[in-house]
A and B are shown apart, each in its own frame.
Chain A
Amino acid sequence: MTDTAHLRRDVRGATRDLSLRNLVKTYPLTRDVLGRPRARVRAVDGVDLDVTAGMTVGVVGESGSGKSTLGRLASLLERPDSGAVALDGHDTTALRGRELAEVRRSIQVVFQDPFGSLDPTKTVGHAVAEPLLVHRRVRRPGMLAAAEDLLARVGLDPGLARRYPEQLSGGQRQRVCIARALALSPWLLVADEPTSALDLSTRSEILNLLLTLQQDTGLSILLVSHDFATIQHLAHRVAVMYRGRVVEEGPTQDVVREPLHPYTKALLSAVPVPDPKIQRTRSRILLRGESPDPTALPTGCRFQSRCAFAMPSCAQTDPGLVDAAPGHRVACLLHQGIGAGTGPTTAAPE
């Protein structure tokens, strides 16, 4: 009891870091006649990640890497099977009901689909000010004014408050979602593919809005995306996920300049470079082989079957994350115990 009371005070005051420790989340894949799970997918399989104040952390990976599940765990929408989601050192995984609602105030979510994430029966104003109403920060008569204020913050015409979501464009809706997420002045915004449902020109508008908001208010962002270019644009640090694990993690600049994990290299080689000369001479590292069966992971490294640098030892040892450079960790046997900078020569010319 004292524990949560403490936590609640922290939430009201200044929560400054979120740490995910050894998170595991599995989903049933098939069920038998009695509805008991027959096989489970390990969507997130032992992940450690930290988000501190004022920082944008990117989580990147292909579909099925568990990055979205990690986002849902971090935003307390799902409970992990094991592991901890700690706010300022206090685990939240056991919280229920009112206490959970209190903690959720400090972590808000922007969803991928701006068309489905707004209730079609509610006005834009209601959507934006609803968090304030739920947490009794505003009463019904004050909702419209509060909503107009919030809409202005995300660069929308306050007059849209009386409209319904279906009357708005995709970009406008995603701005509405961001305004809704900002209503409770959270310290952390979890954005799961916030731009993938939008057209190209709108994408950069939304990303720039997030960037501006962060620079102005010191908001922290956990940005989940399959697109390294998006992550590069916004994130201070990046975590690369593959099959439920973080395989590389470090400052975005370092990871982009000198990717250590073969998977990271493959992902980065798919990102177009603005200079056509370089773009033309660059070679893409194509991932070979099939993605392994999600229910039966191989022993040893889970990337071995698709890795261009696979060694015999990769079939035996499952590499953990180790520091390869200050603040730059990688889970690959090529870097285990050897130290930084001695990875395989990159296929792409630097």
Chain B
Amino acid sequence: MTTTSAPGPVTGHAPEPAAAAPRRRTLRLLLRRPSTVVAVGFLLLLVLLAVLAPWISPHDPFAQDLADRFAPYSADHLLGTDDLGRDVASRLLYAIKLALLAPLISVGVALALGVPTGLWAGLSRGVVDAVLSRVADALLSLPGLAFALAIIAVVGPGLANVMVALGIVFAPSLFRVVRGAAMAVAEEPFIDSARSIGSPTSRVLWVHVLPNVSAPLLVQATILMGLALLSEAGLSFLGLGVQPPEASWGSMLRTAYENQFEAPLSVLPPGIAVVVTVLAFNTLGDAIRDAMTARGRR
């Protein structure tokens, strides 16, 4: 590149002193509230526990001991045993993996379905947009769990099917968020600018539109994580999700329900686990949204 005799560096227009990159500033805004730090810390702890479960679990989660059914809380069995004499604490610990994977995968499926269609509808408008939006409206008018049931009826029960079904159920709401945001971004001059340098449409979509709709997308996805965990628990409770002897918090609640006369307290551990984890997802989602609006208001 040849350097021309351009005027010297401009120093008269120094930007505001906040020199931190916007991304880092958003992160700082995000972690300003103690509740967010607690939520993030808890989710990280869950990841750690899920990974370490085989080594730190006090018992084999599948080992039955019919002589020791419904054992009360003790030093050996921290949370007692279930109807087959299995250690509840160990099963709870092993189920963390599913409690994290199920939301991740179902929201992942929803993203894979909702994001490309939303970008497409938002940018092309016209007939494509009209058709896709109507279909999304129709899907959103179905009660989420009923829609999931209908899909499971077709593909059959099982954890994988539940995750895919929930992904399909969540896709329309992500579609709406992405479509709306993409419509706004498409009007921005920097999209024209990207086209004017000869970027192919696919690059414009993925490199310029997608990152600019990622804020509302991230908020919605995080909130859906909590909803996914709740839905998975419900479906596993109905016996449509995880199949025995695998355990999820939902299926453990089913066991507790079936034995509520013998061991009423066994309702508590898996239920509390679900509530606290959903709480963490929702707190994170709220915090991201507040951080985004605070940034936008600047």
Contact = CB atoms under 8 A, between A and B. Distances in A.
Interaction A to B: yes
Given A75-B196, A134-B199, A216 B4 contact: yes
Contact of A155 (B10, B197, B214): B10
B63 interface: no
B198 A101 contact: yes
A205 B6 CA distance: 11
A152 B18 CA distance: 23
B32 interface: no
A117 B192 contact: yes
Classify chain B's interface size: 35 or more
A169 B13 contact: yes
Contact of B7 (A130, A169, A208, A217): A208
A104 B5 contact: no
A134 B13 contact: no
Interface string A133-172: 0110000000000100110111111000011101111111
Contacts of A13: none
Contacts of B22: 120, 164, 166-167
Interface in A153-196: 153-157, 162-164, 166-172, 175, 177, 180, 183-184
A209 interface: yes
Contact of A111 (B1, B3, B192, B198): B192
B143 interface: no
A169 B15 contact: yes
Given A116-B188, A119-B208, A105 B198 contact: yes
Contacts of B1: 146, 149-150, 153
Nearest to A119: B190
A63 interface: no
B250 to A, nearest CB: 38
Interface string B99-128: 000000000000000000000000000100
Interface in B180-214: 188-190, 192-200, 203, 208, 211-212, 214
Contact of B195 (A77, A135, A150): A77
A161 to B, nearest CB: 12
A209 B7 contact: yes
Contacts of A164: 21-22
Contact of B193 (A76, A118, A162, A166): A118
B9 interface: yes
Interface residues of A, number: 59
Nearest to B21: A164
A157 B189 CA distance: 25
A213 B4 contact: yes
Residue of A116, A121, A172, A205 contacting most chain B CB atoms (<10 Å)? A121
A92 interface: no
Given A105-B198, A167-B16, A120 B212 contact: yes
Contact of A118 (B190, B198, B199): B190
Interface string A48-78: 0000000000000000000000000001110
A149 B4 CA distance: 11
B6 A171 contact: no
Residue of B5, B6, B194 contacting most chain A CB atoms (<10 Å)? B6
B6 to A, nearest CB: 5
Q: Closest 6 CB pairs between A and B?
A: A169-B13, A101-B198, A121-B211, A104-B198, A117-B189, A131-B197
7 contacts: A119-B212, A121-B211, A157-B11, A164-B21, A164-B22, A208-B7, A216-B6
Given A134-B203, A167-B22, 5 more contacts: A104-B197, A120-B22, A152-B6, A216-B6, A217-B4
Interface of B: 1, 3-11, 13-16, 18-19, 21-22, 126, 188-190, 192-200, 203, 208, 211-212, 214
